[in-house]
């Protein structure tokens, strides 16, 4: 891999970059759509390419469960398996430590909508899994059997999957973890990071993940530790505070420490209204489910804001989703038709909305790159 910064902003930490991999070039900043099961739901790989998507991220944990990394490897690796010729990432499985653990127990995501009085204290374990010094014992969401995933196992699985960029195994702490829990959590993540580096045998690019929760000293400590190891790039993971303001503060704490010459990836957060600030903080790539997840719930992103296409009002609307959008959906279909398909529960509605939303997000970020180039961001 080669990462080259071609322009730095004079008014923020934003930068334009070129990320070269064995499967092609990625212009940064950019969106990394989430292909959990080696697919963007409802779209073929050829259709995803037409949305201007440059790189995708697949889920190590779920692909380990089915079809299994051996099946993928025997098919020639993820690229051939899913017929995607552009770059790919795989996450480490670390997010599932949270989502299938405290996230499931407490019914919360990585960011809280309001301040909680509850807290997760040091030593507490989730109900459905056990976090140990060596890794995590999960209960399979498929059949309930026990399975173990640690740093060595994560790297071995990711090597067999064969993505261009892989991540070290980490623990994503819950957003209500107290200081002592978070401190012990990053100690585990740092130990696992060194094991991941020692375990890797392939020529894949390996990113190290910075954790530390909402605590400034722990975030900075983690950023310094991870950047001191021989990683090719960095992921910024974990919980992101009580609100967006806290999230942006955290990003700036971390990007101020990370070496400028290596790429930075924000894991699992990319609301469209936040993307500009995320990139202005010095992040190069970001993965998120927003454009595809919202599409499957009937929501279209447009230059006029989000629209719930299942509403009756759109049945009489003969306009395209967005007259300013040049995607094939906006050029060929009207709001009334898409609304009808949604109300009739036809899967084609989700396909059209997914295509449009991805194209809209990628075009939005394309414009951000243009503005950085012009020195406006």
Active site residues: 91, 287
Torsion of CA 8, 167, 360, 321, to 10 degrees: -160
**Structure token digits, residue 110:** 């990585």
- CA 179/CA 43 separation, integer angstroms: 43
- CA 353/CA 297 separation, integer angstroms: 9
- CA 274/CA 359 separation, integer angstroms: 17
Per the listing, tokens 């230059």 go with 303
- CA 360/CA 262 separation, integer angstroms: 28
């Amino acid at each position: 891999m080669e990462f080259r910064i071609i322009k730095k902003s004079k008014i923020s930490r934003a930068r334009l970059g070129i990320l070269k991999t064995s499967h092609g070039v990625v212009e940064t900043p950019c969106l990394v759509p989430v292909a959990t099961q080696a697919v963007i739901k409802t779209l073929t790989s050829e259709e995803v390419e037409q949305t201007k998507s440059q790189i995708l991220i697949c889920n190590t944990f779920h692909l380990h469960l089915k079809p299994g990394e051996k099946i993928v490897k025997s098919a020639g690796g993820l690229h051939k398996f899913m017929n995607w010729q552009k770059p790919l990432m795989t996450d480490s499985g670390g997010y599932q430590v949270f989502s299938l653990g405290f996230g499931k127990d407490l019914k919360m995501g990585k960011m809280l909508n309001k301040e909680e009085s509850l807290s997760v204290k040091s030593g507490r374990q989730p109900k459905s899994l056990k976090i140990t010094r060596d890794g995590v014992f999960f209960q399979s969401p498929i059949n309930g059997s026990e399975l173990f995933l640690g740093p060595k196992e994560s790297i071995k699985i990711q090597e067999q999957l064969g993505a261009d960029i892989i991540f070290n195994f980490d623990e994503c702490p819950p957003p209500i973890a107290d200081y002592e829990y978070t401190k012990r959590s990053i100690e585990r993540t740092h130990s696992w990071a060194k094991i991941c580096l020692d375990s890797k045998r392939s020529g894949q690019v390996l990113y190290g993940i910075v954790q530390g929760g909402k605590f400034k000293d722990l975030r900075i400590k983690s950023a310094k530790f991870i950047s001191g190891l021989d990683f090719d790039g960095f992921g910024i993971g974990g919980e992101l505070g009580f609100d967006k303001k806290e999230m942006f503060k955290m990003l700036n704490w971390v990007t101020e420490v990370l070496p400028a010459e290596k790429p930075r990836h924000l894991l699992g957060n990319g609301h469209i209204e936040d993307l500009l600030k995320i990139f202005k903080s010095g992040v190069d790539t970001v993965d998120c489910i927003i454009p595809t997840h919202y599409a499957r719930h009937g929501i279209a992103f447009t230059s006029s804001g989000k629209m719930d296409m299942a509403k009756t009002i759109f049945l009489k609307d003969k306009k395209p989703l967005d007259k300013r959008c040049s995607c094939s959906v906006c050029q060929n279909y009207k709001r009334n038709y898409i609304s009808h398909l949604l109300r009739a529960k036809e899967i084609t509605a989700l396909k059209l909305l997914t295509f449009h939303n991805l194209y809209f997000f990628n075009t939005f970020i394309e414009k951000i790159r243009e503005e950085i180039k012009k020195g406006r961001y």
